[in-house]
Amino acid sequence: MVAEGPLTAKQSFIELAKADTSGDYDKAFKIANKILQKFPKETIAFKCKLVALIQLGKFEDALALANRIPFHQMGDCTFEKAYVQYRLNDNEGALATLSKGDPDDYRCLELKAQLLYRAENFKEAADLLKKLLKDYSDDYDEERRTNLIAVIAQLQAIGEEQNITKEMETYEQFYNGACYFIESGNFKDALKLLEKSETLCSVTLAEEGLSDEECEDELAVIRVQKAYVLQKLGRSEEALEIYFQLQKSNLADKSIVATISNNLLSARRNVNMLEAKRKLKAAAQTETSKLTLHQRRTLALNQALLYMLSNQKDLCNKSLQEIRQKYGTVQEAVIIEAALLLRSKDPQKAIEVLGSVTPTVETQLARIQILLNDGKVEESVSALENLPPEIGLRPAIVQLRVALLLCLNKKKEALDLLSSVIGTDGTGVEILLEQAASLNLQCANYRAAVDCLERLAALKPDDLKIICRLIKAYSAFDVHRAEELSNKLFPPSKAESLDVDALEKSDWILYRDRSRQKKEPKPQEPDAEIITGKLRRRKRKRKPLLPKNYDPKVPPDPERWLPKQERTAYKKKISKKHKDREIGRGTQGAVSSPVQLDNAKTKAENSPKPTPVMGAEGPRQQRPAGQQPKRKKKKTKW
């Protein structure tokens, strides 16, 4: 029996190694249990059992085993325990476990970098990955470079300028490089890298023998990002086409589904509120661990914006309060709150809300817009002056400031502003030069106007309008220069060959493109035609239009010009309601034509009640009729 024990243990470990090689971890788990039943203190068996549970995805059982078995029986399982905590989203516990392990264990360093990335501590994660690439070199170097590019992209997103390597080989590296360019605002280069990543991903996954569903899930990540870039480049139709195609496929990654639902609402112009609520509700139900902090904040802001647009003020205020509690002061949330106050017709409170936060360009411009809508011109001018120079000196902002100063009748300040801006060359200087020239001409500052117009003429030498304005400005103080420009514009040599008399007689200028009509005398008619009266008939332009049932043999009705009710053949139609009105009136067999009765010749018979005499049918006299009971109108269904 003593000799049988080691032999049995050796055979069991051989079977365990075979199960590990074949990837049958369920069998490996059972073999490890058999070994531990016979040899309860076997350290390797405990560790194999722990690894088998991890490979089977039973992370809770693995964590319970790691906590139950003491160190002297299990051995050093710091990395395995921290990895289980990482998979169970216990990031703080995993970091605490790693802090007790070997600081030089490269596995622990890589896991710590992943945990720091998940905790959005990108600076430390980048330092760890750079250290791993420098001190360790193995088959996983490409994965480390991929993770480093992803960390650099996130650092770029939070405003820390980073440089990215141009050496990219795998499709994951191209994808992460595209994310870096997206955060830098370089969408054209991002689109190029995403197209390379999509092509390389299809080839790589096909070579690895993955199923079509697995390939589509992996490609969906790249395509969603590609649609976002197209949307940013103004190619919304192409972006919508990609979103709709991805929506039809049953994607396993819920974070991608949430991204599609959110981006669809912003890409479409006409958004149905009910559909928007449904999509955002589905996106909000995504597991928060699969979304970054930026994505969770964006979903919350869109939810608040949707509440505001659908006039759900209480829900919008509640959503904004939750955003403040979770993410602090967010610029977009402040602007949404100000817009909600504007919808409640409280512009003063909206201005106070925008002024209560650290001023940014967006909040300042929103505040200026509210002041302008409220008619506060002076406050708007002072707010425009407080804008940073890179925004305040843009042509559109300068034009707005000049217009507001002119409204306040401050022409001198407007001229000073224009003079200070047009002194520096830049984009949009032509518009400002034209405005400065016009304003100087209004204020009779002809020399300053000439300076502006000369610069404009240098920029646009073929513009006749500018040269004409320049001649007009010079004529106020330098007639000689005005004549030089006039002669240059209209040289006298060109006018020598013109026939002045012919030009004066011609009237084609009055009618532009209409050709001049030739006035020729009418041909005289022969005397014979005048005497005999046989003049030639004038040709009709068109044949007369006759009715379809016109018969030239039948003479026309002489009463055709009379109204229909005054014609002899007119017979008044009796409505169906009164068709039996004449029944019972008069004796039977009476002549249809009415009998003319003379009241003077007819003797009245003695009767207790006089019988009214029936008069002849004729035109009815208009007498004031008694008030008839009002009939109720029938309701008509549309």
Mean pLDDT of the chain: 79
The torsion defined by the Cα of 269, 274, 278 and 283, in degrees rounded to 10, comes to: 40
For 79-100, what is the mean pLDDT?
Answer: 91
Reported as a single tens digit per residue, the pLDDT across 439-463 is 888 887 888 888 888 888 888 888 8
Q: How confident is the model at residue 126 (pLDDT cuts 50, 70, 90)?
A: very high
Reported as a single tens digit per residue, the pLDDT across 15-55 is 888 888 888 888 888 888 888 888 887 888 888 888 899 99
Q: Please tell me the predicted confidence (pLDDT) of residue 229.
A: 94
Q: How confident is the model at residue 539 (pLDDT cuts 50, 70, 90)?
A: low
Q: Please tell me the predicted confidence (pLDDT) of residue 612.
A: 36
* CATH ID of 9-158, from 1.25.40.10, 3.50.50.60, 3.30.70.270, 1.10.10.10: 1.25.40.10
Res 113 pLDDT > 90: yes
Closest by CA position to 168, among listed 148, 139, 138: 148
Report yes or no: 251 and 257 within 8 Å, Cβ to Cβ. yes
Report d(CA 386, CA 39) in Å as an integer: 79
Distances from the Cα of 30 to the Cα of 16, 20, 33, 34, 35, angstroms? 9, 12, 5, 6, 9
Report yes or no: 236 and 267 within 8 Å, Cβ to Cβ. yes
Report yes or no: 65 and 81 within 8 Å, Cβ to Cβ. no
For 242-255, what is the mean pLDDT?
Answer: 85
Distances from the Cα of 531 to the Cα of 354, 535, 536, angstroms? 98, 10, 13
Q: Please tell me the predicted confidence (pLDDT) of residue 623.
A: 38
Tokens 């002076």 belong to which residue?
378
User: 444-475 burial by CB neighbour count: b if 16+ within 10 A, else e?
Assistant: ebbebbbbbbbbbbeeeeeeeebbebbbebbe
Res 397 pLDDT > 50: yes
Lowest mean pLDDT among 182-191, 244-253, 582-591: 582-591
Lowest mean pLDDT among 257-266, 282-291, 461-470, 508-517: 508-517
The segment(s) of the chain belonging to CATH 1.25.40.10 are 9-158
For 139-160, what is the mean pLDDT?
Answer: 89
For the chain, the maximum distance between any two Cα atoms, rounded to a whole number of angstroms, is 161
Q: Please tell me the predicted confidence (pLDDT) of residue 22.
A: 82
Residue 207 CA neighbour count, 13 Å, CB half: 6
Res 566 pLDDT > 90: no
CATH number for region 169-252: 1.25.40
Q: How confident is the model at residue 530 (pLDDT cuts 50, 70, 90)?
A: low
Residue 372 CA neighbour count, 13 Å, CB half: 14
Length of the chain: 638
- Tokens representing 546? 């006759």
Report d(CA 405, CA 332) in Å as an integer: 31
Res 220 pLDDT > 80: yes
